[in-house]
Amino acid sequence: MSSSELLLNLNQKAYNLLLEDAAKIQTLIEVQMENLTTRKCPLYEEVLDTQMYGLSREIDFAVRAGLINEMVGKQVLSELERNLAKLYEAMNKE
């Protein structure tokens, strides 16, 4: 395996791991959207905020290490932030 193939493989693996972590957060958001009866649960909000912060740090590390492009990382985070904003908006309507 050449060094360029190895780097491409490593980049893809980093991206896939970030997507897996993002999918876990998305699942938390979806579960909460389905169960708005537990709205304004500070513990749940804390978990989501902590998970989002952790993912942002992972993305920052991957960008600084040259494993992913900064725009790709921002796109992953931005999509989750939009979904989280929808959740908070729905919780405030209830």
- Distance of alpha carbon 50 from alpha carbon 67, whole angstroms: 23
- Report angle CA 47, 53, 59 to the nearest 5 degrees: 135
pTM of the entire predicted model: 0.84
CB atoms within 10 A of CB 89: 9
| Tens-digit pLDDT profile for residues 2-56 | 888 988 899 999 999 999 999 999 999 888 888 765 556 777 788 889 999 999 9
| Tens-digit pLDDT profile for residues 43-91 | 778 888 999 999 999 999 999 999 999 999 999 999 999 998 888 887 7
Domain boundaries, the chain: 3-93
pLDDT value of residue 9: 94
Answer yes or no: CATH 3.30.1330.10 is held by domain 3-93: no
